[in-house]
A and B are shown apart, each in its own frame.
Chain A
Amino acid sequence: MKRILVICEKPMAARRVAHALDDGGAPREERKFGVSYFISRREGIELMVVSALGHLFTVAGKGRGLSYPIFETRWIPVQEKTRGRASHHLRLIEVLARTADEFVSACDYDIEGSLIAYNILAHILPAERLRDAGRMRFSSLTKEALVEAWRTRSSTLDYPMIMAGKARHEVDWIFGINLSRALMNSVKRATGSHRSMSIGRVQGPTLNFVREREVEIRTFVPTPFWSLEAYAELNGKRYRLEYEGPRIVNEREALEIASKCDGGDGYVEMLSSESRTVLPPPPFSLGDLQLEAHRLFGYSPAKTLKIAESLYLKALISYPRTSSQRIPPSIDLREILGGLRLIKAYRGLTEELLSRAHLRVREGIRDDPAHPAIHPTGYYEKGLRPQERGLFDLICRRFMASMGDPAHLLETDALIDVGGYHFHLRGRRTIDHGWMRMYTPPSEGGEETLPPLEMGGIIRGISVRAERRTTRPPPRFDQASLLKLMEREEIGTKSTRSEIIETLYKRGYIEGTSIRLTELGLAVVDALSQYCPEILSPELTRYLEKQLERIQASEVTPDQVVEEAVERLKPSLFKLKEGELQVGLEISIALRSSSQAGEYLGPCPKCKTGEMRIIRNMRTGKRFAGCSNYLRGICSNSFPLPQRGEIKACGEACPICGAPLITLKRGKTYKLCINQDCTFGKEGRKHGRKM
């Protein structure tokens, strides 16, 4: 009997592929080297379905030690770098390959998936047999999609995608290893000790975005302005009026206008009503989903991707690593809605959509040649974890909303003259909710229905006060807004952006939910901006991204792109080498102040300008939360902390007293306010709110 080895990317995907392709839907599960694989029978062929564990091969340099520059690369099995289960998977694939007549890649259909299978096959097969390896292409792990992908599998691997992937890994490795070693060597030269540090092709510009924002915030000086707080009472209800004029920056002028208007009558000079149509949103791309999940649930982009991948592996949603906002005509919308109809919460909405003669998705601009926008497959399984259920619901509702009718709003604007100054009284009412019944939009504000007004009408006794305000600094990035900026600047890929942000946290360059640049992060980015500003510029990264895309379009070769990247990197490395001692000294100062600073918990609720940090008493070794302004003699605010258990910042202020909230992991996890006098979570509990 003919035997085909089918390679999947992850164990769960292998299980789904094996079940989908087996004629009886019940493949035989076997184990070797502690790794499961499946034997499926399909139309008289035996399929050995086996999984990798993500990448089984990785880029490495030639030579040893921490010297740089290093531009020669090679691909090695990951177990040569790290011990782990990956080696068992590779051994199993090698053994099964000996009895196989043909080979098919069933890894995720994208650059990484294509490269994973290619590296394995290139390792176990001679070149002439590698040429005959086939490829299944699918965007979801449902039985129908997998059977169709099997039927239409290609007779070769996706070489343009593979070559682009190889080049991307090599370029990133060359940038990462050389720049990171340059930093580590400089610190070693200045301090004599080793410190693990990293910086890379995408990390550099991303860190620089944070630096630019941080400098804006830390050098910000507020300036005063006055706003006119105007209110009118109509039919027993208070309405806020907006002053039409420009921002008032002089106290005298503000007080003069307020005194002229306060208590005066308003004359309705103009009245206009306008109907506004709000089109449905497109279905989710990965970036959109990450932003929305952050807005609604507070999930980090990496967490959203992890949950989405778990839903994909359960065949409940399509492949999530997509930048598309489009659903191609080949996807059967009615079938998906028919599946979702079985879920009680969606019955009414799906029936309404299914009753239509034509279904049309409102598509977005962005497209992805490999995958459609994220959408439900029409299947559902019970027992999803709450976070999976929440994200699944979000994806389903957005998908349904994208087929909904436009919403119609009626916006009313009354221009009111008070003592010769103009104010606006604005109202907003939804006439037809359309798609908004399925999905709550992020930016549409609340309703404000105005009482009946007439042109030339008089509104008696308008109160007007001038209030002094001050300008505010730009907001700090959070993970979602930083990811959005990376997406807009076209640096990184949809799959790697959230990982890059996570790496910046792990390296200690940034901290907090509301992202702050640490002293170490600032020192690293300062050193790079002085010696090799090109590394921090999004232009270089963007240019290399385009070149990598051109490999996929077969316009340039991978070697050309890698060579060009090396040539662009060389001058920066030489300049860094020249300034090695100086760079090391600057970073070592930052390292010292970072280690003295302690872990950041949140802003100080007392002085508002300092940071509450975990500090250890030098004599007793006990930890407490202290304000960073203590050393400057500005604030001595401090709170005792529990001495046992792991403490982490929540990134939120206590809703009761404003002090930072923390999580304490001691057996169970508790959410606590650091202010022991605060009542947060203490009603009926001793240790705060159990999570």
Chain B
Amino acid sequence: MGERCEICPRPRVDGSQLCRYHQLAYNRLRKAFESWREALDVDWRDFLEEVLKLPQLGEWAREVALNMLKQPQ
């Protein structure tokens, strides 16, 4: 079996540390960040902390956001 996702036991997609679902969640976080920056002029870290407070944030997106926050700036 190939290498596993950084967050879950699913296989990684090519060129990423994440599986297809966590990669999709990451892409959506990046896209949503643009809207947040335009709306509230926040930086990436503040954005992640803000969205983590929201119950509507999807489970996989939450896992990615937490994983990103653990990483050094």
A positions within 8 Å CB-CB of B = 215, 217-225, 249-251, 470-473, 582, 585-586, 589, 593, 608-609, 632, 634
The interface residues of chain A lying within 8 Å CB-to-CB of B59 are 217-218, 609
In the assembled complex, how far is the CB of residue A174 from the closest CB belonging to chain B, in whole angstroms? 31
A221-B58, A473-B58, A586-B10 are known contacts; what are 14 more A-B pairs with Cβ within 8 Å? A218-B61, A219-B21, A219-B28, A219-B60, A221-B25, A221-B61, A222-B32, A222-B51, A223-B36, A224-B40, A250-B38, A251-B40, A582-B1, A608-B55
| Inter-chain contact B56/A471, CB cutoff 8 Å | yes
CA distance A421 to B36 in the complex (A): 25
* Contact in complex: B1, A222 (CB < 8 Å): no
Q: Return B67 CB to nearest CB of chain A, in Å.
A: 10
Asked if B69 is at the interface (CB within 8 A of a chain A CB), the reply is no
Nearest Cβ in chain A — how far from B15, in angstroms?
18
For residue B62, CB closer than 8 A to chain A, the reply is: yes
What is the total number of residues of chain B having a CB less than 8 Å from a CB of chain A? 27
Given A223-B32, A249-B38, A251-B40: A215 and B24 interface contact (C-beta under 8 Å): yes
- Chain B neighbourhood of A223, CB < 8 A: 32, 35-36, 39
- 8 Å CB contact of A632 from B1, B25, B36, B63: B63
Identify B61's interface contact among A220, A249, A582, CB under 8 A. A220
**A482 shortest CB reach to chain B, Å:** 20
Give 20 A-B contacts (CB < 8 Å), ordered by A residue: A218-B59, A219-B21, A219-B24, A219-B25, A219-B61, A220-B56, A220-B57, A220-B58, A221-B58, A222-B54, A222-B56, A223-B32, A223-B39, A224-B35, A225-B39, A585-B1, A586-B10, A593-B9, A608-B55, A609-B55
A residues less than 8 Å from B51 (CB atoms): 221-222
Establish whether residues B56 and A472, one from each chain, have CB atoms under 8 Å apart when the complex forms. yes
- CA of A149 to CA of B31, assembled, Å: 65
Q: B61 — which chain A residues lie within 8 A by C-beta?
A: 218-221
Q: What's the least CB distance linking A22 to chain B, in Å?
A: 63
Per-residue CB contact flags for chain B residues 20-37 toward chain A (1 = under 8 Å, else 0) read 010011001101100110
Q: What is the CA–CA distance of A225 and B28 in the complex, to the nearest angstrom?
A: 17
> How long is the Cα–Cα vector from A602 to B8 in the complex, in angstroms?
23
Interfacial chain A residues near B68, Cβ < 8 Å: none
Closest to A223 in B: B35
- Residues of A near B28 (CB, < 8 A) are 219-221
Instruction: Give Cα A608–Cα B10 distance, bound, in whole angstroms.
Output: 25
Q: A219-B28, A585-B1 are in contact. Are A224 and B56 (CB under 8 A)?
A: no
Interface centre among B1, B21, B58, B60 (most CB of A within 10 A): B58
Contact B35 A249, beta carbon cutoff 8 Å: yes
User: Chain A residues with Cβ under 8 A from B58's Cβ?
Assistant: 217-221, 473
In the bound complex, residues from chain B placing their C-beta under 8 Å from that of A472 are 56
User: When chains A and B are docked, how far (Å) is the Cα of A608 from the Cα of B56?
Assistant: 9
Q: Is A609 in contact with B62, judged by CB distance below 8 angstroms?
A: yes
Q: A215-B24, A249-B35 are in contact. Are A222 and B63 (CB under 8 A)?
A: no
Write out the residue numbers on chain A whose beta carbons fall within 8 Å of the beta carbon of B21.
215, 218-219
Name the distance in Å between A254's Cβ and chain B's nearest Cβ. 9
State A58–B16 Cα separation when bound (angstroms). 50
Q: How far is the CA of A218 from the CA of B60 in the complex (A)?
A: 5
Closest chain-B Cβ to A515's Cβ sits at a distance in Å of 15
Cross-interface CB contact of A589 among B9, B31, B40, cutoff 8 Å: B9
Q: In the bound complex, do residue B55 and residue A249 qualify as a contact, i.e. CB atoms below 8 Å apart?
A: no
Report the minimum CB–CB distance from A283 to chain B (whole Å). Answer: 40
Cα of A223 to Cα of B36 in the assembled complex, Å: 6
A249 x B39 contact (CB < 8 A): yes
Q: How far is the CA of A367 from the CA of B27 in the complex (A)?
A: 46
B39 touches A250 (CB 8 A): yes
Which residue of chain B has the shortest Cβ distance to A226 in the bound complex? Answer: B39
A218-B25 contact given A608-B55, A609-B55, CB 8 Å threshold: yes
The residue on A at minimum CB distance from B64 is A219
Q: Chain A residues near B56 (CB, 8 Å)?
A: 220, 222, 470-473
| Interfacial chain B residues near A634, Cβ < 8 Å | 66
Instruction: Return the CB mask of B37-56 against A: 1 if under 8 Å, else 0.
Output: 01110000000000100111
Tell me the bound Cα distance from A383 to B48 in angstroms: 60
Q: How near does chain B come to A86, taking the closest CB pair, in angstroms? A: 45
In the complex, how many angstroms separate the beta carbon of A66 from the nearest chain B beta carbon? 24
Complex: A251 Cα to B40 Cα, angstroms: 6
Smallest beta-carbon distance B40→chain A, Å: 6
Q: Say yes or no: A221 contacts B9, CB within 8 Å.
A: no
Closest-by-CB residue of B relative to A522 is B21
Task: Return A610 CB to nearest CB of chain B, in Å.
Answer: 9
| Alpha-carbon distance A249/B28, docked complex (angstroms) | 17
Give the chain B neighbours of A217 by CB distance below 8 A: 58-59
Q: Within 8 Å CB of A589, what residues of B?
A: 9
Residues of A within 8 A of B31 (CB): 221
Question: In the complex, which of the residues A219, A582, A586 has the most CB atoms of chain B within 10 Å of its own CB atom?
Answer: A219
Residue of B nearest to A224 (CB): B39
Residue of A nearest to B4 (CB): A589
How far in angstroms is the closest Cβ of chain B from A398?
36
| Residues of chain A within 8 A of B66, CB atoms compared | 632, 634
How far is B27's CA from A253's CA once the two chains are assembled, in angstroms? 27
The closest CB in chain A to the CB of B30 belongs to A221
Residues of B within 8 A of A471 (CB): 56
Q: Are A221 and B55 in contact (CB under 8 A)?
A: no
